[in-house]
Structure 1
Amino acid sequence: MIESHGADTRAGRAEKQGETVAVQGRGWDGVAWDWSDHGDIRRRLDQGADPERWSGGRPLHSAAAFGSPEVVAELARRVADVDALEDGVTALWEAVMSRRSENARALAAAGADPWRPSWAGWSPGRLSLAGPTPDLFAAPAGESLTAAQHAQAEEARRLTAALGTFHHEGTGLACVRGIDAAEAVRRLEATPAADDLIADVLEDPYDCDSEEIELLVGVTSVPGGCVVTQPWGYAPQMPGVLTRLTAGTVGYGLYANPKSGNQGSIARDGRIEGSDLHPGGGPDATDTPEELFTAYLYQHDAVAYSCAYAGLRLTDRRAVVGPPDVWVHLPPRDYWRANRKQSDS
């Protein structure tokens, strides 16, 4: 949450009108993302800060996601409804989504309902069964994951652990189901790269001639399909690359744009099906139940999300960061024209 000057304006208008009740945002000046200082928050509340509202929304929701369990419990004691909604979700939903298990326990102890349905019919309690603390709440009869959802959650834990944490800003990927590296090279009509160029690229790609390596990509076979990677650029997720790769199958393209964040796209059977997506960005109110579950599992992990969407089961991150099975040059084409047949040149 970002502090807004609008709160000061509203407070000024209220004072001019002679209002004596707390107004939205009053008492929370200087509070932005940090809701962990129990003493400070309690002092503000005792001095009249509104427990129901600040300039960034509901304090309890913010504390659930960014604060300490002591602050969550303090606010929960002072609000009228611990299950009040903001953007269609409760504070408990925010705690579960943020993997703040102690905050979630504090809310449940204050009376929050873990099994209240929210976005796409999911409740925070049922989502937590797939999270890092599946025993967070005592599940009533009938509240469980399906066998397929259990398997999906297990695979998410395995895949994210296999990939680990690494710097991927600036990386472009195409994750494609059901074809190996050789077939990907054939579909792209790509040619092997020279060994001396590869040696230079491996030493420092950013020291190479950009025109010489802008269509240079790595291709690697992985369990479930293949990965086309360019650790320094967006080439693999260009529409003309994805459409050629996905005849008869599906692929997910990712560009980890250093300026604007992760950008995703979906190609299916040679057609771009979705673009301007935000892999790893977390669930959205418009998600289907399946989309929301996947987004929860891979929140803040765009690479794992992209691989999982295509059904790839990587055992390490070599296919992403290199060295790949093979380095190849893409033939010169207008790759920004989407939905063309693979044979077009």
Structure 2
Amino acid sequence: MAAEDDGWSGMGWNWTDADGVRRRLAAGADPQSWNGSRPLHRAAACGSPEVVAELAGRVADVDALENGVTALWEAVMSRKPANAQALAAAGADPWRPSLGGWSPGRLSLTGPTPELFPVPQGVALTATERAAAQEAHRLTTALGEFDYDGTGLACVAGIDAAEAVRRLQATPVVDGNLLDVLHELLADPYAHGMDESQHIVGVTSVPGGCVVTQPWGYAPQMPGVLARLSAGTLCYGLYANPKSGNQGSIARHGNIEASDLHPGAGPDQDDTSAHVLAAYLYQHHAVAYACAFAGLRLADRRAVTGPPEVWAELPRRDYWSH
């Protein structure tokens, strides 16, 4: 059966209908291929345990790789414990090393279901890994769930709000016309044009450093802002683009070290062990990821959503170069 006619046309990403999947399989759908990918991997991440079990019983190798990972890895990474158990029951190996040297089983020890698989003797987390998992749970709980679409952030290690304002050569907004503009922006982010709105940011000291926030725009993540803030330290910039998703940048010692990152997404094949762990712990928690990267230990989300410690006006300059 050709790749473009593998029997899964129209399936999309919903693999929860076990009867529908069985009908397709009975009609000749290929259990090994879906649009060039593997149906079992899609079901592991986006399906039901019934569909996972059905497909696992029909594939040649339940531990076959796609993009360097097994279906069991996908189930663990996607926080689908019932799917993971269905795969293990079908013979998938929880302890097979994968991205960053992590196995699905060992990775699960850091998450909400550490009892997911029987743990072989000698397999354990390091003290550093346990501490990272505990802090991730604390931080994501402290921030909670909230809508941050359209928000820009710079999470800066080791400096407080006053130092951030000084580095940016910003002017605190305390009175006058700009205070009126700020109040209007808080009520309606589109009340003013970009020229005015992009030059106002909030800054708040937090344990470990400070947060520069803009609930209506990307200014904190602009290269010129990150470069100034990161002199002698590091910061993680985030813009939650409502159109294209979360965009991340890393600045260190005044230089942009990395950009076009995707905080809150899954790990990449060439990620280090620490990066894979962080991607798992903070999946779908982009703000927490940015804070954790800079070592910030927020007690709540006020530094992100406001009101900040101080509102400040950035000088007019080209922040896209630095």
Residue 207 of structure 2 corresponds to residue 227 of structure 1: no
Q: What code does the residue aligned with 1:153 have?
A: A
- After TM superposition, give the deviation of residue 164 of structure 1 in Å: 1.2
Equivalent residue of 2:184, what SS?
helix
Residue in 2 that maps onto 1:190: 170
Residue in 2 that maps onto 1:136: 116
Measured in 2, the distance between the counterparts of 1:100 and 1:85 equals 18
TM-score between the two structures when normalised by the length of structure 1: 0.89
- Counting only pairs closer than 5 Å after superposition, residues 3-152 of structure 1 correspond to structure 2 as 11=2, 25-152=5-132
| Structure of greater relative contact order (alpha carbons < 8 Å, 6+ residues apart) | 2
Q: Is the 8 A contact 1:25 1:50 kept in 2?
A: no
Q: Is the 8 A contact 1:217 1:229 kept in 2?
A: yes
Q: What code does the residue aligned with 2:306 have?
A: G
- After TM superposition, give the deviation of residue 332 of structure 1 in Å: 1.1
Residue in 2 that maps onto 1:262: 246
- After TM superposition, give the deviation of residue 209 of structure 1 in Å: 4.1
Q: Is the 8 A contact 1:24 1:50 kept in 2?
A: no
Residue in 1 that maps onto 2:301: 317
Deviation track 1:134-186 (CA, whole Å, cap 9, x = no partner) reads 11011102221111111111111111111111111111110001111011111
Residue in 1 that maps onto 2:235: 251
Paired residues, number: 318
Q: What code does the residue aligned with 1:68 have?
A: S
> CA separation of 1:61/1:209 partners in 2, compared to 1, >3 Å: closer, same or farther?
closer
1:171 alignment partner, one of 137, 151, 156:
151
Unaligned stretches of 5+ residues in structure 2: none
Measured in 1, the distance between the counterparts of 2:133 and 2:5 equals 39
- After TM superposition, give the deviation of residue 327 of structure 1 in Å: 0.4
Unaligned stretches of 5+ residues in structure 1: 1-9, 12-22, 339-345
Measured in 2, the distance between the counterparts of 1:296 and 1:252 equals 18
Residue in 2 that maps onto 1:343: none
Deviation track 1:246-302 (CA, whole Å, cap 9, x = no partner) reads 111110001111222111111111111111111111101010111111111111111
Measured in 1, the distance between the counterparts of 2:59 and 2:197 equals 58
Residue in 2 that maps onto 1:328: 312
Measured in 2, the distance between the counterparts of 1:197 and 1:29 equals 52
Q: What code does the residue aligned with 1:204 have?
A: D
Q: What code does the residue aligned with 2:218 have?
A: Y
- After TM superposition, give the deviation of residue 28 of structure 1 in Å: 1.7
- After TM superposition, give the deviation of residue 240 of structure 1 in Å: 1.0
